[in-house]
Amino acid sequence: MTRDEQALEEAEAGYRESRALVAAEAEGDERAVESALRPRTLQEVVGQERVREQLSLVLQAALARERAPDHVLLSGPPGLGKTTLAMIIAAEMSSPLRLTSGPAITHAGDLAAILSGLNEDDVLFVDEIHRMSRPAEEMLYLAMEDFRVDVVVGKGPGATAIPLEIPPFTLVGATTRAGLLPGPLRDRFGFTAHLEFYEPGDLELIVRRSAGLLGVALTDAGAAEIASRSRGTPRIANRLLRRVRDYAQVRSDGVVTLEVAHRALDLYEVDQSGLDRLDRAVLDVLCRRFGGGPVGVSTLAVAVGEERETVEEVAEPFLVRSGLLARTPRGRVATAAAWAHLGLQVPPDAYFGVAAADDDQTLFDAEE
């Protein structure tokens, strides 16, 4: 592991909690394994063709001009490769990578210290950039645009701002919530890469690549099976691969076949669509106990014995994305696909409602 990677692990640890086997967020001890599996060059990155091509143009042009590339914003759900791409940007530019994260920057002074320590052409990676404090954000605008920070000395009426030049650098920001970034900050990025969930074929390649690096023997059908249950997310694919490998070693001859992958993932309660126990419990309660809804999320949470936040943030996003659950103005409802997933008949009086226009917005005119 390089020093960059070690620093990264330390920076990232501590503000994420561990969750289920299919959680898209990384678990504490997972980071060491992840860094071993990270592609190191743009060429090695599987999938995300569009982003790869766009990014490669930005970097090649900057190399040709012998200038630091424009600031880059990497946006997308957890586990799709934002950190990986940030490290690749620095590697492709042969520039040192400095790492920090939004939650680590609580005062503008923290950021001033980081910025004033930069050297020319450094790549500064700010993970979870949407979680930075407002004064730090404002300082960052200026730094991104004018390569300058105003260091405030003193307090009250006697305070003075001393401008400090900083060498040209490239900011790489990563965010899972681009919508939370204030416009002025978003506008100062020369290029925004939107990462998409991966196609099963790409995930299969990722599983095979990771198996090669981990020295796991696996058949194509075994790889495809793991890929299809990985929710479009490389991090989950790699995690499931490791769990299936354990199973193969202990209960079989070490080779990950279709059969072994099936048995292992059934044991870990990750179903054919990538739903885990909580996801299925939510669907089950929604359909069997509440007739498919509509029902409030708090009620659902009590019924499955979980916190409201867990249901809302852990289970729901994937259920919504899979078209199994819908958020409507009157509450959560099961879709026809949900009934089918549970092997149940849709009751004649099932309410499907009007899906809310925006995922985060449930207050909306029901008459529309």
Ligand X SMILES: Nc1ncnc2c1ncn2[C@@H]1O[C@H](COP(=O)(O)OP(=O)(O)OP(=O)(O)O)[C@@H](O)[C@H]1O
Residue 101 binds Mg ion, judged by CB under 5 A: no
Question: What CA–CA distance (Å, rounded) separates 36 from 194?
Answer: 24
Selected from 20, 38, 203, 265, the binder of ligand X by CB under 6 A is 38
* Nearest to Mg ion of 38, 208 (CB atom): 38
Sites for ligand X among residues 198-217 (CB under 6 A): 206
Backbone φ, ψ for residue 334 (5° rounding): -85, 140
CB 225 within 8 A of CB 261: yes
- Choose, from 83, 84, 170, 328, the residue flagged as catalytic: 83
Active-site entry in 4, 122, 127, 279: 127
| Closest approach of Mg ion to the CB of residue 128, in Å | 8
Task: Determine, following the binding rule CB under 5 A, whether residue 75 of this chain makes contact with Mg ion.
Answer: no
Q: Whose CA is closest to 275, among 342, 211, 327?
A: 342
Q: Is 83 in the site for ligand X (CB under 6 A)?
A: yes
Listed in sequence order, the residues at least 6 apart from 262 whose beta carbon sits closer than 8 Å to its beta carbon are: 225
Q: Between 83 and 95, whose beta carbon lies closer to ligand X?
A: 83
What DSSP element (H or E) covers 101? strand 97-101
**How remote is the C-alpha of 319 from its chain's centroid?**
17
Find the shortest distance in angstroms from Cβ 41 to Mg ion.
18
Q: Mapping DSSP to helix (H, G, I), strand (E, B) and coil, where does residue 337 land?
A: helix
DSSP reduced 3-state for 191: strand
First and final C-alpha spacing in the chain: 55
Which does residue 292 bind out of Mg ion, ligand X, none, counting CB within 5 to 8 angstroms by kind? none
Give the footprint of ligand X on residues 4-33 (CB under 6 A). 25-26
Neighbours of 317 (CB within 10 A): 15
Partner whose binding site includes residue 208, from Mg ion, ligand X, none (CB under 5 to 8 Å by kind): none
Whose structure tokens read 């099936």? 262
Site track 170-189 with ligand X (rule: CB under 6 A), x = hit: ----x-x-------------
The reply on whether position 144 binds ligand X by CB under 6 A is no
Q: From ligand X, Mg ion, none, which one binds at residue 80 (CB under 5 to 8 Å depending on kind)?
A: ligand X
Instruction: State the residue for tokens 């899906």.
Output: 355
Of the residues 130, 131, 188, 235, which one makes contact with ligand X according to CB under 6 A: 235
> Does position 82 bind ligand X by CB under 6 A?
yes
Cα atoms in the 13 Å half-sphere on the side-chain side of 95: 29
For residue 56, list its beta bridge partners. Answer: none
Is the alpha carbon torsion for 209, 215, 220, 226 positive or negative? negative
Contacted entry of ligand X, Mg ion, none for residue 47, CB cut-off 5 to 8 Å set by kind? ligand X
Q: Where are the alpha helices (DSSP H) in 38-101?
A: 49-65, 82-93
235 catalytic per annotation: yes
Q: Does 238 engage in binding with Mg ion (CB under 5 A)?
A: no
Nearest distance from C-beta of residue 76 to ligand X, angstroms: 6
- List residues near ligand X by CB under 6 A: 25-26, 34, 37-39, 45-48, 78-84, 174, 176, 206, 234-235, 238
* Catalytic positions: 82-83, 127, 176, 235
